[in-house]
C-alpha cells in the first residue's frame, strides 16, 4: 500500500445495486446499438457494398466522429464474433443481429415503471434516432439535438450529468477526495475543468458533511469550455450556497486544450490544492502536455482527481462509450504509441503510463483493474511527485 495516497473507500458504492444499474444500462444500450447497425449498415446495404477497409478509412467519412463511431460499431461486432472479415475483405454476418425491441415497447414499459429514468434513457434513445446524421452527415449528436430544440437538449444534458446513476462512483470519488483534503485542515484552492453544470458540487451539497469542504474553500475556479453550461451550474450554486461561500467562486470559460503556465489565475506554479476533472480529461487533445501542466500547478501533496470509464475489450466496453462516441469533443485526441493508443476513454495501462511520464508516480485507481469490465465507471486520484 502506498503511504501518500489517501485510499478512498468506495466499497459501499460498488455494490449490488450499482451492478444492477449497469445491467439495465447494458440491456437497453445493446438494443440501441443493434438497431443502429440494422438500420444504417445492414438494411442500407452498406456492409455489402463496401469492404471493412473502406468503411474504416478516414477518407470514407464525413467527419472524424463518423469515422470513429463507425469503426467502434464494427469492432464491437467483430469482437463479439457476430461479424467476420471474409477473405475478400468484406464483412460477413456470422450471427444474425436482431432488433429485440423494434417498437421500443420494452423500453417504454420499463420507463413507465421507472419514471426517474425517463430523461436518461430518453437521451440515449435520441442518440439512436440521430445516428444517421452522425454517421453520414458529419454531425455532432448533441448539436443536432440542440439545433432541434436547444432548451430541451440543455435540460436533458443537465439531467444526464446530475442524475445518471452509472456515474455515482465517479461523483463519490471526487466528493470523498475533497472531504479528505478538507480534513487536512488547510484552506483549499481548487480548479475544476469541464465543470459543466456543476454535478460534483451539486451532488456533494446533498450530503450534510459536505459543509466541511465548503468551509475550507478559499478559491474555487469553476471552469468549462461552454458558457451556457457554466451559467446553468452557476445559477444552481448561487441558489444553494451562502453568499460568503458563493463569493469564493470564480466562474470562467476555460478550454483545457489552451491552458498554459501563468496564463490565468489558476495556472500558477504550485498554487492548487486540488484539480478536478469529472468526465472530461480524456477529451483533451494533448494529454501529456495537460498532465505536465497539472503537475506544475499543483502544490506538493495536491490531488489530481479525475473520472471516466476505463476502456476494456470492444465487446464489453462499446456500450459504455456509445453516447460519447457521437460527440466531436470525444474524438480529437492526439495518439501516442504506448501512452495513448485509443481515442476517447483510455485503458488503465494508458493512464498509468501517461501519469508516470508526467510526474505522477503515486495514484490510486477505482475500481481495481480486475473489476473494470464489470464496473467500468470510476476514476483516479494522483499526487505529483515533488
Distance CA 104, CA 80 (A): 24
Give the shortest CB-39-to-ligand SAM separation in angstroms. Answer: 26
**Touching ligand SAM, residues 144-163 (CB under 6 A):** 161
Give the shortest CB-354-to-ligand SAM separation in angstroms. Answer: 17
Write b or e for each residue in 198-234: b if 16 or more Cβ atoms lie within 10 A of its Cβ, otherwise e. bbbbbbbbeeeebeebbebbebbbbbbbbeebbebbb
Q: Is 142 in the site for ligand SAM (CB under 6 A)?
A: no
**Touching ligand SAM, residues 199-238 (CB under 6 A):** 199, 224-226, 229
Pick from 278, 321, 350, 364: which binds ligand SAM (CB under 6 A)? Answer: 278
Give the shortest CB-378-to-ligand SAM separation in angstroms. Answer: 15
The CA-atom distances, in angstroms, between 311 and each of 42, 321, 364, 370 are 27, 9, 17, 12
Distance CA 241, CA 251 (A): 14
Backbone angles phi, psi at 67, to 5 degrees: -60, -50
Q: Among the candidate windows 40-48, 194-202, 310-318, 345-353, which touches ligand SAM by CB under 6 A?
A: 194-202
Residue of 99, 277, 303 whose CA lies nearest to 181:
303
**Touching ligand SAM, residues 254-273 (CB under 6 A):** 255-257
Count of residues near ligand SAM by CB under 6 A: 21
Give the shortest CB-192-to-ligand SAM separation in angstroms. Answer: 8
Pick from 66, 154, 280, 380: which binds ligand SAM (CB under 6 A)? Answer: 280
Nearer to ligand SAM, 271 or 328 (CB): 328
3-state secondary structure of 150: helix
The helix or strand, by DSSP H or E, that contains position 73, with its residue range, turns out to be helix 64-80
Cβ-based neighbour number of residue 25 at 10 Å: 21
Pick from 13, 127, 178, 198: which binds ligand SAM (CB under 6 A)? Answer: 198
Q: Of all residues in this chain, which one has the CB nearest to ligand SAM in the complex? A: 196
3-state secondary structure of 152: helix
Nearer to ligand SAM, 52 or 120 (CB): 120
**Touching ligand SAM, residues 162-181 (CB under 6 A):** none
| Residue 367 preceded by cis peptide, ω within 30 | yes
Distance CA 43, CA 117 (A): 31
Q: DSSP letters along 100-136, please?
A: S-TTSHHHHHHHHH-GGGHHHHHHHHHHHHTHHHHHH
Nearer to ligand SAM, 196 or 302 (CB): 196
Pick from 164, 188, 197, 355: which binds ligand SAM (CB under 6 A)? Answer: 197
**Touching ligand SAM, residues 302-331 (CB under 6 A):** 329
Nearer to ligand SAM, 279 or 340 (CB): 279
For ligand SAM, the binding residues (CB under 6 A) are 161, 193-199, 224-226, 229, 255-257, 278-280, 283-284, 329
Amino acid at each position: 500500500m502506498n503511504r501518500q495516497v489517501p485510499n478512498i473507500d468506495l466499497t459501499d458504492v460498488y455494490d449490488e445495486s450499482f451492478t444492477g444499474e449497469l445491467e439495465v444500462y447494458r440491456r437497453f444500450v445493446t438494443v440501441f446499438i443493434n438497431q443502429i447497425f440494422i438500420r444504417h449498415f445492414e438494411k442500407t446495404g452498406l456492409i455489402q457494398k463496401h469492404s471493412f477497409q473502406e468503411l474504416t478509412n478516414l477518407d470514407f467519412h464525413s467527419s472524424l466522429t463518423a469515422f470513429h463511431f463507425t469503426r467502434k460499431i464494427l469492432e464491437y461486432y467483430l469482437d463479439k464474433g457476430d461479424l467476420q472479415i471474409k477473405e475478400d475483405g468484406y464483412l460477413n454476418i456470422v450471427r444474425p443481429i436482431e432488433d429485440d425491441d423494434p417498437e421500443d415497447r420494452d423500453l417504454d414499459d420499463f420507463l413507465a415503471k421507472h419514471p426517474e429514468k425517463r430523461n436518461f434513457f430518453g437521451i440515449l434513445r435520441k442518440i439512436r434516432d440521430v445516428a444517421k446524421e452522425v454517421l453520414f452527415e458529419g454531425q455532432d449528436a448533441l448539436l443536432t439535438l440542440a439545433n432541434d430544440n436547444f432548451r430541451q437538449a440543455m435540460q436533458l444534458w443537465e439531467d444526464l450529468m446530475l442524475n445518471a446513476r452509472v456515474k455515482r462512483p465517479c461523483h463519490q470519488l471526487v466528493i470523498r477526495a475533497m472531504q479528505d483534503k478538507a480534513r487536512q485542515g488547510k484552506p483549499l484552492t481548487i480548479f475544476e475543468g469541464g465543470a459543466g453544470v456543476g454535478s460534483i458540487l451539486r451532488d456533494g451539497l446533498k450530503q450534510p458533511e459536505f459543509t466541511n469542504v465548503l468551509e475550507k474553500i478559499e478559491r474555487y475556479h469553476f471552469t468549462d469550455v461552454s458558457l451556457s453550461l457554466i451559467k446553468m451550474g452557476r445559477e444552481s450554486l448561487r441558489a444553494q450556497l451562502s453568499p460568503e461561500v458563493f463569493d469564493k467562486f470564480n466562474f470562467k470559460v476555460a478550454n483545457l486544450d489552451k491552458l498554459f503556465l501563468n496564463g490565468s489565475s489558476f495556472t500558477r506554479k504550485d498554487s492548487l490544492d486540488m484539480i478536478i476533472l469529472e468526465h472530461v480529461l480524456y477529451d483533451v487533445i494533448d494529454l501529456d502536455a495537460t498532465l505536465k501542466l497539472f503537475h506544475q500547478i499543483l502544490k506538493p501533496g495536491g490531488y489530481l482527481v479525475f473520472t471516466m470509464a476505463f476502456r476494456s475489450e470492444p465487446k464489453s466496453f462499446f456500450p459504455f462509450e456509445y453516447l460519447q462516441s457521437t460527440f466531436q469533443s470525444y474524438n480529437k485526441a492526439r495518439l501516442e504509441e504506448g501512452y495513448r493508443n485509443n481515442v476517447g476513454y483510455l485503458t488503465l495501462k494508458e493512464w498509468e503510463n501517461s501519469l508516470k511520464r508526467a510526474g505522477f508516480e503515486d495514484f490510486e485507481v477505482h475500481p481495481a483493474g480486475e473489476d473494470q469490465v464489470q464496473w467500468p465507471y470510476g476514476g483516479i486520484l494522483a499526487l505529483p511527485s515533488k
